[in-house]
Amino acid sequence: MAENKQMKMMEREHKDGSMRFPMVEIEGASSGPILTVTAGVHGSEYNGIDAAVRLIDEVDPKQLSGTLRLVPVANVPGFLARSEAVVPMDDRNLNRVFPGDPDGSYSAALADFLWTTAVEDCDYLIDMHGGDIFEALVPYIGVAQVDDERVTRETLEMGRVYGLPYILEPRGLPGAEDGLSLAAAAREYGIPAILSEVGGEGVLCPDDADTHMRGVVNVMRHLDMLSGEPTVDAPARELETDFWTIEREGLIYPLLELDDSVEEGQRMAVIKDWFGETVQELYAPHDATIIAVVTTLAAREGAVIYQVALDE
């Protein structure tokens, strides 16, 4: 069996330090597509990482058609530093710099290294996330439409079989001016791709990792890489998503909880200054459902405090 599971630390040099990430290729007994499954692009989102390493054992090459390629920790420096969202060498969000640049900053070069090694030649991509250190969230799939109708359709199909309660398409993504998320870059290059998000607050929760594993197995069944039908509890709600940010630093006190419905104009958060004085009250700009909420008291200027699903 071992010869059908290639496990390797991939390494490449950069002027600001060497780059490395673990990669596993499980080659099936019969032919089929290449599915790349990444985790740890955000190094402190543990449920995806745990699901990826458990899939190494779980998937039997004899039962597999095609190739399952796993990258359990894409952002090793962020994982080791317990960073929130960023790569510590340059403080950039790795999930905003794809497909990357081999001659760019450490994050851009790491993105290029991941892209050219693990993603570029795959047929389908799942990028597993786990809710970062600063947020709690409702499990969801991130998708987006692209010009290629096949890619848009197959992306949505993968999202529907993953089995999470929401499928969300962004209206705008903060910090996307430098590049794309991994899944968005894949879609732009003709690879159906989803982001899956389960868990939060930098906590490893075995049930959440199980949810990811079931989602990946469901997608593999959908793609006929494994036998059997996907098992989904209920159809996902498919909605647009938006990110609500704050304009000043301070101590942030959100007033809404996960899955709350909020009405336009409803008071949603209070910001206090360093001395405990309330300096701003925030009101919801639209009707929405709360998908993610910041759970750290600390808030920088421009920080996201809620991710929301916009009601139809």
Closer to Zn ion by Cβ: residue 45 or 50: 45
- Report the alpha-carbon angle 175-181-182, nearest 5: 160
Closer to Zn ion by Cβ: residue 67 or 155: 155
Which residue has 């699903």 as its token pair? 309
Q: How far is the CB of 52 from Zn ion (least distance, A)?
A: 14
Name the packing angle between helices 46-58 and 206-222 (round to 10°): 60
Closer to Zn ion by Cβ: residue 135 or 154: 135
Q: How far is the CB of 95 from Zn ion (least distance, A)?
A: 6
Q: How far is the CB of 312 from Zn ion (least distance, A)?
A: 26
Q: How far is the CB of 48 from Zn ion (least distance, A)?
A: 8
Q: How far is the CB of 137 from Zn ion (least distance, A)?
A: 10
DSSP code per residue over 88-143: TTTTEEGGGSBT--TTS-HHHHHHHHHIIIIITT-SEEEEEE---TTEEE--EEE-
Closer to Zn ion by Cβ: residue 42 or 187: 42
* Contact residues: Zn ion, CB under 5 A: 42, 45, 129
Closer to Zn ion by Cβ: residue 258 or 270: 258
Q: Which two three-digit tokens encode residue 174? A: 């903060």
b/e burial code for range 123-151 (CB count within 10 A of at least 16 → b): bbbbbbbbbbbbbbbbbbbbbbebebeeb
